[in-house]
Amino acid sequence: MHTNRVSRRRFLRGATMTTASALVAACAAPLPAPQVIERTVEVEKVITSEPQVIEKEVPVEVAVEKVVTATPPADKQPVTLRYQEKAPVQGWTEQLVLPVFEEMYPWIEVVFEPRVSGWIEKNLAMMAAGTAPDIIHAWGEVFQSYSAKKQLLNLTPAIEAGMTQEELDDQHKFQWDAFWDPFRQVRFALPRQVDMQFIYYNKDIFDQRGVAYPKEDWTYDDWAAAAQKATVLDEAGNPKVWGVHTWLDSWTFLSTHLNAFGAHIRDDDTWMKCRLSEAGAKEWFQWQQDRIFKDKTWLNANTLTGIGASGDSVGMFASELFSMAEINLNSIGQISQQVNFNWDIMHPPVGPGGRFGLGDNDGFAIYSGVANRGEAQVEAAWLFTKFMNGPFFQRPNMEQTGELPGRKSLIPEYVDVVKRKFPGTENVDVNMVIRAFDMGYMVPGENFRYQAEVAPIVNAAMQKLWEVGDAGPEILDQVCAEVDATEAQAYEADPDK
């Protein structure tokens, strides 16, 4: 008999930190580690005369993987945590994730607060008023806006006392580094999932239009040429199926395109000097403007409004309103469930400055005002944040949404999980996600030091360039002058500079 032992172990460890404030932390006595029972299967292989191999599962051990609740300290008082998250996550998290957390920490109750329209700005107002949620899921420019205003708790003391070296080594470096504020000298979040940038394309339209599928070495010129060929015109010569849709009004992919043109949003030293007026940046802004107004192959917000379409890129891609879409990897699960045509994904194209793609820092942060709600509240917030960074959230999140885990050890499972959980990906090259790591082109987005103050200035310029089209890249000279002045003013007003 040949025995093949297959074990799946989910490592659990109770965190040991109680934090009195953002600056003061003390170690608490560790809870007993919950027990994990391994699932074991043995396989008997029988060689017959044909010959042929028959595999037969032999039930040797009946075991259910479970958590055995650690006994809570007698002095623990009930704590209620407010956790802000995107609405679709709530249902399956309450069914699959929270029961495990509540078994480990039965004195902590977690209450979801789904995001509402304008939640980013509303959070800032609630933070100033002391009423913000305890834990917030956000990313990049959102975190930078909050951190610059000292509204995110410094997690460094809790991490140093409550996370093992194994757990630290399991984080993606490019993502982990993005959660560090070099000016406040604080670590403000733990990773949630890795958000990546891909070009999704409709293979059926490509086939109908005789367009070659994009290859891994494709360039921005190739992208523009494919968009022209994949745009379908009506009898009047106007597009009825556009070549490309991307988020022109968002920071999500802005800096990666600039990087591909050898340019940057701001300087690396102070994060306060605007670089959008440099030649490479102007070249990128002109390139994008030409695709919208010269080639008429790129959809913008004004066109969407004119044809009565929504801003939901996944839904519009499924409705075949455009042939290619620049969309986050986070959407791969939704797309697989909504589209009824052949589709695939491709890396971002290579620009004059190389290939760059989003390796964004979606994460969990704790509102700094939690320190005013008592040590028990801060401890509970840390325990939940650390738990959500671990496999008991990371694995179900991958299985339910197709999002890429924020833990390196789970990446080898990703392709098999997506193929199994999302049948619509059966003909999609999901292995491209793994190759992106090997290719090493992922970078976090660039943000200004005082992001909340200057983002409206840049956003207004992008609207003029790409939505209205009544100005060219020359306006970026004035934009940078305004940004630099605003950053300097914010710096002078910052009491902790």
pLDDT band of 9, cuts 50, 70, 90? very low
Domains delineated in the chain: 77-497 (3.40.190.10)
pLDDT for the residue numbered 360: 78
pLDDT of 36 above 70: no
The whole-number pLDDT of residue 458 equals: 97
For the cut 80, the answer to whether the pLDDT of residue 421 exceeds it is: yes
User: What are all long-range contacts of 462-468, with beta carbons under 8 Å and residues at least 24 apart?
Assistant: 462/248, 462/249, 462/254, 463/249, 465/285, 465/288, 465/289, 466/248, 466/249, 466/288, 466/289, 466/292, 466/300, 467/248, 467/249, 467/300, 467/301, 467/302, 468/302
Q: Is the pLDDT of residue 55 over 90?
A: no
pLDDT of 109 reads 96
| pLDDT (0 to 100) of residue 250 | 82
11 has a pLDDT exceeding 60: no
Binned at pLDDT 50, 70 and 90, residue 71 comes out as low
* Higher per-residue confidence, 85 vs 75: 85
What confidence tier does 18 reach under pLDDT thresholds 50, 70, 90?
A: very low
**What is the Cα–Cα distance from 376 to 392, expressed in whole angstroms?**
23
Whole-Å CA distances, 310 to 52, 127, 203, 253: 57, 31, 23, 20
Using the predicted structure, report yes or no on whether residue 270 has a pLDDT greater than 70: yes
Q: Which of 322, 444, 385 is nearest to 158 (CA)?
A: 385
Instruction: Choose from 64-78, 129-143, 246-260 the range with maximum mean pLDDT.
Output: 129-143
Whether cis (ω within 30° of 0) applies to the bond prior to 51 is yes
CB 316, CB 245: distance < 8 Å: yes
**Is 180:378 a contact under the CB 8 Å cutoff?**
no
3-state secondary structure of 364: strand
Q: Looking at per-residue confidence, does 32 or 197 come out higher?
A: 197
| Local confidence band at 27 (pLDDT 50, 70, 90 cut-offs) | very low
**Mean pLDDT of the region 48-61:** 37
What pLDDT is stored for residue 73 in this prediction?
A: 65
Cα 463 to Cα 194: distance, rounded to the nearest angstrom = 28
Weakest-pLDDT range from 125-134, 265-274, 280-289, 311-320: 311-320
pTM: 0.85
Phi first, then psi, for residue 333 (nearest 5°) are -65, -45
How confident is the model over 468-476, as a mean pLDDT?
A: 95
Measured distance CA(2)–CA(301) in Å, rounded: 62
Paired strand residues for 404: 194
- pLDDT at residue 66 in the model: 46
What is the pLDDT confidence band of residue 329, given thresholds at 50, 70 and 90? very high
The region of weakest confidence among 47-61, 187-201, 335-349, 434-448 is: 47-61
Cβ distance 366 to 153 under 8 Å? yes
Using the 8-state DSSP alphabet, how is residue 235 labeled? Answer: T
Whether 38 shows a pLDDT value over 70: the answer reads no
Res. 136: pLDDT tops 60:
yes
Region 260-279: what's the mean pLDDT? 97
* Distance from C-alpha of 435 to C-alpha of 439, rounded to nearest angstrom: 6
Mean pLDDT of 363-380: 97
What is the tens place of the pLDDT at every residue in 155-198? 999 999 999 999 999 999 989 999 999 999 999 999 999 989 99
Compute the mean pLDDT over every residue in the chain, rounded to the nearest whole number.
86
Q: What is the pLDDT of residue 75?
A: 73
Count other C-beta atoms under 10 Å from residue 7's C-beta.
9
